[in-house]
Amino acid sequence: MGMLEGKRIIITGAASGIGRATALLAAQEGARVVAVDLSDTVDQTTAIITGSGGTAIGIHANAANEDDVRDFVTACVDTYGGIDGIYANAGVSGGRKPLTELTVDDWQRTLGVNTIGVFLAIKHTVPHFTTKNSGSIVCTASVAGLRANAGGVDYSASKAGVISIVQTTAYQLYGTGIRINAICPGLIETGMTRPAFDRARERGTSERIGQINPMKRHGEPVEIAQMACFLLSDRASYVNGQSIPVDGGLSASHPWVFPR
């Protein structure tokens, strides 16, 4: 029996990176998965799952569009007879610009996907969870939402917003049996971060990637997936309202200078 045996789980941003890794692991752990993404490669995710004997459907949808969110939640309920958890993981990297060069459009896109998308996932799953007094909501925040220098201003603010949503929602759901938590990844190699990895490899400095955390390396998507699946499972039954760094220890310290 996997730790998600029989669970009906929605995962957004499931076409690649952390979302795909989580969808694959959740299916291996026994979940029936709804994989959601704007990209057509979400179909590859579901093909991998079903080809390995798992159960999954893929939906092309915008996690920041309320009608789309309502529809993919309904699809989970209609297909599997209910919903037990959602991983609101879809995100964008932000404007990747200095503060003074960011535009209102940059801010609206970043907040729309990273923060409002999380709100919509919560809004449209909570009514289903409250009918059975249980459910797990997991959101992707970031170490950039905890400390400076892990992302641009718009990205960092959007992820700090996710952390605040999780804390506030945990108490708005007081007594319902619904849990909500966030994961704060450190430096993980995904499509979002690949440009930085590619530049380091071009310069011949790839061995320095992740050097400022105590483990002296970057993380892999599956390492975030392990935490996500734990939080979605009943094994995390007393974990609620938390934003948990999975970052090799990066956020455990104030700035420091490597001893030479």
Give pLDDT, residue 260.
60
Helix (H) or strand (E) holding 12: strand 8-12
Amino acid code (one letter) for 73 = V
* Four-point Cα dihedral 192, 185, 119, 56, nearest 10: 70
pLDDT tens figures, 164-174: 999 999 999 99
Instruction: Give the whole-number percent of the chain exceeding pLDDT 90.
Output: 80
Q: Which two tokens stand for residue 146?
A: 């905890």
Amino acid code (one letter) for 139 = C
Give pLDDT, residue 202.
73
Please tell me the distance from the alpha carbon of residue 31 to that of residue 9, in angstroms, as a whole number: 7
What's the predicted TM-score (pTM) here?
0.93
pLDDT tens figures, 18-43: 999 999 999 999 999 999 999 999 99
135 against 209, higher pLDDT: 135
Does residue 174 carry a catalytic annotation? no
* pLDDT, average across residues 57-80: 98
In the chain, domain spans: 8-189+221-242
- Choice among 87, 155, 171, 238 that is catalytic: 155
Please tell me the distance from the alpha carbon of residue 174 to that of residue 236, in angstroms, as a whole number: 17
Domain topology for 8-189+221-242: Rossmann fold (3.40.50)
